[in-house]
Chains A and B, each alone.
Chain A
Amino acid sequence: MLLRYITRRMLIGVIQLFCLVIAVFFLIRLLPADPVSRLVGLNSSPEGYEQAARQLGLDRPLFEQLWIYLGLSPDIAPGLLQGSLGVSWASGSTVGSEIATFLPVTLQLITLAFILAFIISIPVGMLGALNPGKAADKGVFVYSLFAGSQPEFWWGLLFVYVFYFQLGVAPAPLGQLSPMTFPPEPVTGFMLIDTLIAGEPAKFFEALHHLMMPVITLAFILSGPIIKMVRQNMLRALQSDFVLYANLIGLPRKRVARYALRAAMGPSMTLIGILYGFMLSGAVLVESVFSLGGIGQYAIRSVLAFDYPAIQGVVLVITAISLVVYLLLDLIHAAIDPRIAY
């Protein structure tokens, strides 16, 4: 049952991705941009221009380009079917390998930030819902208003100013490790894991230390909407018949709160999924402030360079990850709430 559901969702996901690939492929080519002149410079000779266009494959008819990208003409170049995202026009290395270096940085950052945001938001949101209108609730309201009132790079800069310049408890915002440290062999791409694989706990803690500020910044931003959502879902749950009944039969206050929390978590999953998918590319400002080199930065670089294969690759990978996250959260929702049938 479960397996069939997952398979079905995966199949639908593949179809969605396929449609997305086609759409993105044509949409970026509709842009009034000339990637070739971008590459060779505006005042190159016509021959040079043509040669560059040939190299990029842009001299071929549009559908032939699509065929190659999809991997239907493997004799010319490998494509999606062969598991290749193509070659970046800007750097000349494969898009796949570039994404593999940038993506883990972002995944590591936002996953940790979500976990931290959750740890903060659940008790705070619960507190607000259990004492609606009281001081604690008002404090929560002010906090979420405050956190959402400024853009994240501003908070990032402020935190850097306070914790690095003034207090000196945070490292300089110069990447995942200090510039003097020799990074470990990239195995998974996740710095925290790679340092452990390399057996270098000192570097592990250094990486953790460097992650601290960006994670806190993101969690600070994220906790605003998450608190609001937890509070609201919790309030609704507290008004439900079964919570009233739980009170009527004298269940302890703690147990009643847990009933309500569980009822509040299910509907929260959807928003979490959307937020996570958004953060995959939306964390770019924080990545920039702390010079982490994440997928958001890579995406922007690719767009500015009209690097079509890179843009397509990033969109495809981010969407695929979002779809997997949605699926996972739906599975969690179903595990929390037995009324949800596959």
Chain B
Amino acid sequence: MRIVVCVKQVPATTDAKIDPETKRIVREGTKAILNPFDLYAVEEALRIRERCGGEVVALSMGPENAKNVLVEALSMGADRAVLLSGRGFAGSDTWATSYALAKAIERIGGAELIICGKQAVDGDTAQVGPGIAAKLDIMQAANVSSVDDICPDSITVSRMNETGYDVLKLRFPALITVLKDINVPRIPTLRNARKARAAEIAVWSPEDIGAEPDKIGLNASPTRVVKTEPPAVRAGASVRICAAPSEAAKALTEELFRRGLIRADVREESV
């Protein structure tokens, strides 16, 4: 069984700065990390391999230094890693990212199971997982909170929603995106971390994965970010309350009521 786990490199904090002149996001000088949600994807892939055998391939698309996040996946225990990198991939939106990752998965030789994180903390769209599944025309389950059963040809998972969960049986090949509740990611051992740093990471260009040039990068991306700006600034502490507890409580309740934020009926209900 082969499991491909998709990992993205993201800025360490989402405290993004905007260049006041170019109005573009400044990425220089910000530390990059493995998308926190993808740790859970890697961990789940490893656990399934431990149960069923096979191999775990970590896959990322990004700049050359995104190798670092692949090293992290290797040090947790992934068997090998592939980085998609090259000018042609630059500027990809989620459509083009999904296409490139799907092509790479085909080039890897396909996979029974593909695991993605719930979402990336920078782009925040949660669109890449379902996008890959669509490209490969395979079954998907987003927001998986547990893997309940694995058979040679299928996987049974619980998928969370706002009011409960569904138990789904997906025939391989399939794609799941996983939630943080699914596991507790392992800390790499020193030995594995050292081994991972020495490991060879395959770097593939658009040609290597047989990508059609009009389906990758900025040109193939239907969405275009035309403007970025900081969110409207908040006025900041317009009202400061500093008084004895009962006075403070009264002042806050009145303030909320005055602003129409708590209704009279909320107050009366509890009489």
Our verdict on whether A and B bind, yes or no, reads: no
